[in-house]
């Protein structure tokens, strides 16, 4: 493999990577860096944990430095769009780290925090702006942010941005950019929508595919256990205690579910924090820091909140509930096994999650064996797995019965059933829901959770 010094990067960037302890470029870096330096558009399918952030920030900063305009006030010359606050903050941290020997100025803007400090930073002038789309548009509409000097546009985790309903925001942003610019698009998965977007955005791109579509990193060992839903908190407690696991990321499907589980773990003497969209940005940052520093043993997170978390050498990820969008499984378990380090992902599968488990297997092209945990053999596990439709129907009926029992009337549409799945939607073969109302609600809720505005 090449060395960093073979890639043609500025000496200041090489110094920073070496101070960071990087010796060889990761495969995505080895391919992306020369292509970006050649000023080509890039379409990169690289899952999280592959080193993709350095893959675009290093050459981006090289180009910005090399072509720095003389005698001109600073203007935004590189724009990185990211779906969530956490990912945006992380990209900004990478820019700070790798660019510490360069005179470039950068800023990050995202929703959920005060806008005025961001306005001040932008007024002072920045070369590189990392942003979530909603807050960026707010800032542009307040005329404190001009994008007419942007030379490079980077869409990070583009699949997630589309999934969260940011497509129109992205289009609005693109309209404000100069036509002549370099575009880099990074996506963990390659859906039809992503391919459409690449046709709209990229000109003669170099395609870089680090791992085949929708696959999981080889460094992650995947296990799955069948169990009753009610037994899951006890199973998680047992796994953590028996294995003496010290750093565990657990995914739940709902914010309330995350709170409930975190409380149960605390009661069992396992220190944990929940991280989701109902928490303030300050609480989210504190929880993440505590987790990274080993003060908190377990972080319980929803999909969106966990997006973009980069915790080096995270050894254990548990899917307390399976995601109903199969691609989310790939993102979730990408939190472990990062940068070549071994990790383990465990999924707890209740009877009504079997259709989702099947969809995940199809997506990743692997059949994960489904085992029992001693003492937790499920009571409910008929030989025939329920279909997705049956699961949704039953959940809707359960919800309706619960509503009736509470005497709250029936005119209101249930927001979600017990497992958080919308009962009025159906799954197609990729596990994506097809009810437009349901999917809009899902997108809105995801956007709220991401703090995009």
Site for ligand AMP in 303-362 (CB under 6 A): 310, 312, 338-339
- In the complex with ligand AMP, which residue's Cβ is closer, 312 or 410? 312
CB of 22 to ligand AMP, least distance (A): 4
Angle between helices 167-175 and 192-201 (to 10 degrees): 10
- In the complex with ligand AMP, which residue's Cβ is closer, 138 or 157? 157
- In the complex with ligand AMP, which residue's Cβ is closer, 310 or 352? 310
Which has the closest alpha carbon to 78: 167, 210, 181? Answer: 181
CA distance 335 to 337: 7
- In the complex with ligand AMP, which residue's Cβ is closer, 119 or 311? 311
Site for ligand AMP in 121-180 (CB under 6 A): none
CB of 88 to ligand AMP, least distance (A): 13
CA distance 264 to 268: 6
Q: Does 186 bind ligand AMP (CB under 6 A)?
A: no
Site for ligand AMP in 24-63 (CB under 6 A): 25-26, 29, 48-54
CB of 78 to ligand AMP, least distance (A): 16
CB of 194 to ligand AMP, least distance (A): 18
CA angle 50, 51, 57 (to 5 degrees): 145
- In the complex with ligand AMP, which residue's Cβ is closer, 47 or 198? 47
- In the complex with ligand AMP, which residue's Cβ is closer, 22 or 251? 22
CB of 334 to ligand AMP, least distance (A): 8
**Residue 147 burial (CB < 10 Å; 0-12/13-18/19+)?**
buried
CB of 347 to ligand AMP, least distance (A): 22
CB of 160 to ligand AMP, least distance (A): 13
CB of 213 to ligand AMP, least distance (A): 17
Residues in contact with ligand AMP, shown as a per-residue x/- string from 10 to 29 under the rule CB under 6 A? ------------x--xx--x
Are 157 and 87 within 8 A, CB to CB? yes
CB of 3 to ligand AMP, least distance (A): 10
CA distance 229 to 2: 49
Q: Could you list the residues that contact ligand AMP (CB under 6 A)?
A: 22, 25-26, 29, 48-54, 310, 312, 338-339
């Amino acid at each position: 493999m090449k060395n960093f010094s073979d890639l043609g990067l500025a000496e200041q960037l090489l110094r920073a990577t070496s101070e960071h302890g990087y010796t060889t470029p990761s495969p995505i870096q080895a391919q992306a860096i020369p292509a970006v330096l050649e000023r080509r558009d890039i379409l990169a399918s690289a899952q999280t944990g592959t080193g993709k952030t350095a893959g675009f920030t290093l050459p981006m900063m090289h180009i910005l430095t090399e072509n720095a305009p003389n005698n001109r006030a600073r203007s935004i010359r590189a724009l990185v769009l990211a779906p969530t606050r956490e990912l945006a903050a992380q990209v900004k941290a990478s820019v700070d780290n790798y660019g510490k020997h360069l005179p470039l100025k950068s800023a990050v803007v995202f929703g959920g925090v005060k806008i005025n400090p961001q306005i001040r930073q932008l007024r002072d002038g920045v070369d590189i702006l990392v942003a979530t789309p909603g807050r960026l548009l707010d800032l542009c509409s307040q005329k404190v942010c001009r994008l007419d000097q942007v030379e490079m546009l980077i869409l990070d985790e583009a699949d997630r941005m589309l999934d969260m309903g940011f497509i129109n925001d992205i289009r609005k942003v693109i309209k404000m950019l100069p036509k002549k610019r370099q575009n880099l698009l990074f996506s963990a998965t390659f859906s039809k929508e992503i391919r459409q977007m690449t046709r709209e955005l990229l000109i003669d791109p170099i395609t870089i595919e680090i791992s085949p579509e929708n696959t999981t990193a080889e460094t992650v060992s995947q296990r799955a256990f069948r169990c009753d839903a009610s037994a899951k908190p006890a199973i998680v407690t047992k796994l953590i205690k028996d294995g003496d696991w010290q750093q565990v990321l657990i995914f739940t499907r709902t914010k309330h579910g995350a709170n409930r589980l975190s409380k149960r773990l605390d009661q069992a003497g396992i220190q944990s924090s929940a991280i989701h969209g109902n928490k303030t940005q300050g609480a989210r940052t504190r929880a993440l820091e505590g987790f990274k520093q080993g003060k908190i043993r377990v972080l319980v997170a929803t999909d969106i909140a966990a997006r973009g978390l980069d915790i080096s050498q995270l050894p254990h990820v548990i899917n307390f509930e399976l995601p109903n969008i199969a691609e989310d499984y790939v993102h979730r378990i990408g939190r472990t096994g990062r940068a070549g380090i071994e990790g383990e992902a465990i999924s707890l599968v209740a009877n009504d999650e079997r259709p989702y488990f099947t969809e995940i297997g199809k997506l990743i092209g692997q059949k994960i064996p489904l085992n029992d945990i001693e003492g937790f053999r499920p009571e409910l596990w008929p030989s025939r797995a329920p279909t997705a439709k049956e699961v949704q129907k039953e959940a809707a009926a359960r919800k309706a019965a619960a509503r009736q029992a509470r005497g709250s009337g029936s005119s209101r549409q249930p927001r979600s059933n017990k497992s958080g799945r919308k009962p009025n939607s159906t799954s197609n073969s990729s596990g994506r829901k097809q009810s437009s109302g349901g999917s809009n609600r899902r997108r809105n809720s995801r956007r709220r959770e991401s703090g995009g505005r």
